[in-house]
Chains A and B, each alone.
Chain A
Amino acid sequence: MKIKTIAVNGIIAALYIAITGIIQPIAFSQIQFRIPEMFNHLIVFNKKYFFGIVLGVFLANLFFSDLLPYDLYFGVAHSIICLSLTILISTFVKNVWARMIVNTLIFSGMMFIIAYELNLAIGLPFWETWLFTAIGEFVVMAIGAPLMKAIDARVKFEKMM
């Protein structure tokens, strides 16, 4: 692995935590809009962001999660599976917008992992929880897609790696 890839991924994970810790409580403390979820769209620009996103999720759960033991396993597993699926599908889909739509659908659909986690942890009904968490994830990822595209217009995520 290239040194720059390691450095960028480490810093992306740190940024994930910084945003979770500082912007989230100020901008969205009353709304269930998890702003760092936008980071999941980084994968559509370059698959090398995989480890940075997964590490960000892992550390955020380690620092902030109230469902700690479950989130550490299920939250991270959810990210790994979804990002891997997006990477796989991205080999056939080249358009960034199309990739973002695919990524949003994958992350929302795979929320059954989180529904299962909540079912296991606090006995929430699986199907209803899947539906509600999937809707929540879909909204966050759908709003996050144009925002990440707007940021990409200035930052050029693909070339940064």
Chain B
Amino acid sequence: MMEKMIFGRYLPMESFVHRMDPRAKLVVITLFIGVIFLANNLLTYGILVLFTFASIFASKIPIKFLLNGLSFLFWIILFTFFLHIFFTREGDVIFTFGWIKIYEHGLQQAIFISLRFFLLVLITSLLTLTTSPIDITDGMESLLNPLKKLRFPVHELALMMSIALRFIPTLMDETDKILKAQMARGVNFSEGSLKKRAQSVVPLLIPLFISAFKRAEELAIAMEARGYRGGEGRTKYRLLKWKGMDTLAALLVILLGGLLYVFRS
């Protein structure tokens, strides 16, 4: 759990997808979320499967690793599958067993919706697997830049996200320490009614909040002492560079959308 938390789901490797600009990945994923809904028959879903697995291949993330991280998803997909197979009652009956009737459209819906969801999660998992959280922050800051004209605090938001990422491991250690200290004093967090458990969390949260606010105070003083004066005129340590392959990736998703539109029924 700690490892998963500290590093997110990022898996550093050398691949086409890893090298892509984080902004391009965010754009591609957003386009993909829209485009995927165009698929509605066997051919269009086939194209989507090909695209998804080609993307995974380009990322060099081992399929086994990708699927291992999605074990909980299996149950959601299974639930979705059975929900549609039993409760969608349209089309001809293709199977009857006692009171259970499976309809043609129900089976089709079950397969298509489960597959669509599975593919979407696979492709979007590539974002967190191939991009470090700090790169995602930089990418988002850059993409949100136009909102600065509307006086939206883009730089401040990105800075907050960087601070959060920096302090997650520290606060996790602290949470763990306080949790163990309270458990040593006999607090049982995992048994009893919901009310009792919720109440037992209060003595845990009070020192946590106090210590977190103390850290924030110290951080603010340190930033002020070092002359932090906001984002205006600041240069960046990590520079983003949109390359030809980023444009190519975005065009590929648009092409995918075109293909799905042409071949959908």
Contacts and interface: CB of A to CB of B under 8 A. Distances in A.
User: Which of A26, A29, A62, A123 has the most chain B CB atoms closer than 10 A to its own CB?
Assistant: A123
B109 interface: yes
Interface string A117-148: 00001111000000000000000000110010
A6 B213 CA distance: 12
Given A3-B220, A11-B212, A21 B80 contact: no
Nearest to A35: B201
Interface stretch (A82-90, A97-105, A150-158): A150-158
Interface string B189-222: 1100011011111101110111011011101100
A122 B113 CA distance: 6
A76 B152 CA distance: 16
A93 interface: no
B125 interface: yes
B202 A63 contact: no
B216 A4 contact: yes
Interface residues of B, number: 75
Interface stretch (B95-103, B174-182, B232-240, B255-263): B174-182
Pairs of residues from A and B, 9 with the lowest C-beta to C-beta distance, nearest first: A10-B163, A13-B164, A14-B167, A18-B171, A69-B124, A122-B80, A10-B160, A27-B189, A7-B220
Interface of B: 1-2, 4-5, 8-9, 29, 33, 70, 72-73, 76-77, 79-80, 83-84, 109, 113-114, 117, 120-121, 124-125, 128, 133, 136, 153, 156-157, 159-168, 170-172, 174-176, 179, 189-190, 194-195, 197-202, 204-206, 208-210, 212-213, 215-217, 219-220, 223-224, 228, 230
Interface of A: 1, 3-4, 6-15, 17-19, 21-23, 25-29, 31, 33, 35, 51-52, 55-56, 58-59, 62-63, 66-69, 73, 121-124, 143-144, 147, 150-151, 154-155, 160
5 contacts: A8-B220, A11-B219, A18-B172, A67-B76, A150-B202
